[in-house]
Structure 1
């Protein structure tokens, strides 16, 4: 594993070098990075709770307000890879401060917005928060001893899942007792606090400089390529998969992406080193990320709230209120989060492949529980807990597998690309599940049937089986050693 050089001797007469001489324990560094990652999860999930209220306040519709989600995801996918690479080149601490500042501005822009368009614009700016997780993982690897890296990555990644569940509940409470404006104000205040943590608490690595040139063409071309593909996937179920707009976005995005790959293979200093994907372990990890996101991870985030809040008088559902459903989901997520250190320890001792396998098997159990107990509160709580535990193992194993596959200097770049793959997979999975549920509705009704739900369970199991198969193809072992 590549050895990270120690900080250069500081100049005691230069007060601006104090950040490079800070001494922080591993626990403090992990805590700070986990707190920072909370803002990424909060930015991602908070708007879901506000969509119905925004529709009502602005007399709009779901298709229009839904762009508040789509715009965020499009920017988040592109920024995860691009900002991750910029962090590897120019310093992750510096890029993280810029990202947090931009996210703060985006939140304030949405908070004072007096139209749906303003909210969507602010959400697009907030999308840069998609780069926070890759940057935090890169910082963990750069600042911590090898032996502590797997647990740190697992905790940071697991924080994203738990915070995502918590943010929906918190946002719902703010909307119920205050205003949807408040969720954006809170996000801005929190992001500002995290910026201060990076600037004044987190240790910095001294600048080493770079003779690499920024790949402007690759940077500019990557965003529309990913945006076209993700937008086509996201809107395919509502526009129709054979609609000209859907096909145009998908085909156009794929063509631009193919041209982008060719350019990245030719340029001296690419924004994304696609040659890394020739590594067998990294390629299998990316495929496992895709199958996990298309199947259990992506669909579970959609289907659990539907089952919990669907009327109990229907073919399935518990008839819970949004706040009660959010509380149950949060409780399950917190129980699952408790398993993230175990996932990290497994990655350190026997390799992340084992954590991915455990997560896959737990997802299979959760699918069976969803099939059998979609009308029973105790059974659904068990399902939510099982999904959370599965996510704690599988979701946190993926970034550790990436770290096991790439050099230190490519950490944020590679984990950023992994985030892009995960985002695309979630878009595919939710589109498939939505289409299945919509097509299962009885004529004259919009309520999905239990037959449609069971078909979604089948899709979850297919994605789970594919993930387990890919995990078995990974070579066992770990690059982490006692230091």
Structure 2
């Protein structure tokens, strides 16, 4: 059976099952959902922010980009610090920064202040890998995959909720402040819940921070993700984008050299490109590509006026969230079943199975997209796929590493998933802007269908990578 058991040595210091395991899982899942809410609630606000601040598309895009960049830098740092100083402390720090960023965003009266608030919010992206590490520390082995699945499913659930919240609020007011006050309230509730319910573990990896490695890592990630996120606005062959990619490559090479030499590296490179880690991280990139693409593609497609474009569903922001509700339900249901599936066929093949369903959901939209029921069917199938796949992926990312490195291993896997999402945004935007209706800036139906096929191919590749991992690493 492939990967059904944990390859890493058993942790003799593993805590007994916490007395209130259900409350611990509820606290971690709630916190993960809040993080996902803040990632998507700003997407429908971008046109409104352009008018409010009299800013260009490129300038307003920083409201989204700043959060992405901050999350990319904070995820490996806080994950490593969680292994060193305690995961609960870092989870509380991440939630505290989310609350602070939400408040700054809510009271902002200028675009730079709003961007700064969003950057603070973005640091909370480190919470999910920290939560996965904590689950591995404190839950019995037979419950780990199911618990990881539930926490991982909050990424999709929170994304849908974020759209619904923004849709409801945007109907009542033209101000962006209420959306961020809601995020601040949810973040504060999650922080209190984690503080009360999550256990404090005494066992830590120790060591000293790799300050130089952290600084160089932050530098090359910023260059890479900034180049990806700004490619469409600046031009992929522009001097600025090419310079960013060149700087990212040079800084990445320097970072690798540092991590190979330093006595206590921030990231053990075997966790990134080792025999078992490489395939898990590649699958994570491809799944991130598929999932993040859905947020923008589906939002834009649903809101496209059928009278004007000849396709679309002529919906509102609220309708986007409502169409994605089936995904929320099926994702929660199947993430809770993923542990049983993995126990039978192993996490690698479970990941492959989930990726197949995710791909099929996009195939459905590529073939049939004219009616509301097409969107509902897509949503339900997508939830099945990502509910299974992300549960298995969280297990696959950490099952082969020592317990005291589970936080950083999960953090790296989350980081590459974010990179996959960034690439998805760039690729789909390039396709949509390159094929528009004559005399307009509205993408053609063929452009959307091409994007659905591209994203389906990404999920199919993830299925193949996961199946290959299962065949290579049999136990």
Shorter-chain TM-score: which interval? Answer: over 0.9
Q: Which residue of 2 aligns with 1:368?
A: 363
Distance 1:149 1:448, change over 3 A: same
How many Å apart are 1:87 and its aligned residue?
0.2
> For 1:270-317, what per-residue CA distance to the aligned partner results, in whole angstroms no more than 9, with x for missing partners?
1111122353221111111122333x3232222212221111132421
Check the 8 A contact 2:325/2:379 in 1, yes or no: no
Corresponding residue to 2:182 among 159, 183, 186: 186
Quote the residue 2:304 is aligned against: 310
Partner of 1:58: 53
Q: Aligned partners of 1:357 and 1:23: how far apart in 2? A: 32
CA contact (8 A) 1:22 1:203 kept: no
Say whether residues 1:92 and 2:87 are aligned partners. yes
Separation in structure 1 between the aligned mates of residue 27 and residue 222 of structure 2, nearest angstrom: 31
Deviations 1:379-413 (Å, cap 9, x if unpaired)? 22111221222111222321111122222111110
Asked whether 1:292 is paired with 2:299, we answer: no
- Point out the more displaced range, 282-291 or 57-66: 57-66
**Partners of 1:22 and 1:405 in 2: CA distance:** 21
Are 1:4 and 2:11 matched, yes or no?
Answer: yes
Greater Cα shift, 238-247 or 148-157: 238-247
Q: How many residue pairs were aligned?
A: 466
Show the counterpart of 1:281: 276
Q: Secondary structure at the match of 1:339?
A: helix
TM-score (norm 1): 0.91
* Helix, strand or coil at the partner of 1:241: coil
Does the alignment pair 1:424 with 2:430?
no
Deviation at 1:22, TM superposition (A): 11
1:429-477 superposed Cα distances (whole Å, 9 cap, x missing partner): 1211111111111342111112212321331233133212211211259
Query: Using a 3 Å threshold, how does the CA distance of structure 1 residues 209 and 446 change in structure 2: closer, same or farther?
Result: closer
1:26 alignment partner in structure 2: 21
Deviation at 1:54, TM superposition (A): 2.1
* 1:239 and 2:246 are equivalent in the alignment: no
1:347 corresponds in structure 2 to 342
8 Å contact 1:43–1:129 — kept in the other structure? no
Q: Distance in 1 between matches of 2:155 and 2:449?
A: 29
Alpha-carbon distance between aligned partners in 1 of 2:114 and 2:211, rounded to the nearest angstrom: 29
Q: Cα RMSD (Å) of the superposition?
A: 2.2
Residue number in structure 2 paired with 1:15: none
Q: Give the Å deviation of 1:193.
A: 2.5
Check conservation: 1:7, 1:206, Cα contact below 8 A: no
**Partner of 2:470: helix, strand, or coil?**
coil
CA distance in 2, matches of 1:267, 1:298: 35
CA distance in 2, matches of 1:222, 1:305: 33
2:472 matched to 1:472? no
Q: How does 1:402-417 map to 2 (within 5 A)?
A: 402-417=397-412
Is 2:258 the counterpart of 1:251? no
Matched, 1:112 2:107: yes
Superposition TM-score, scaled by structure 2 size: 0.93
- Return the match for 2:211 from 212, 216, 230: 216
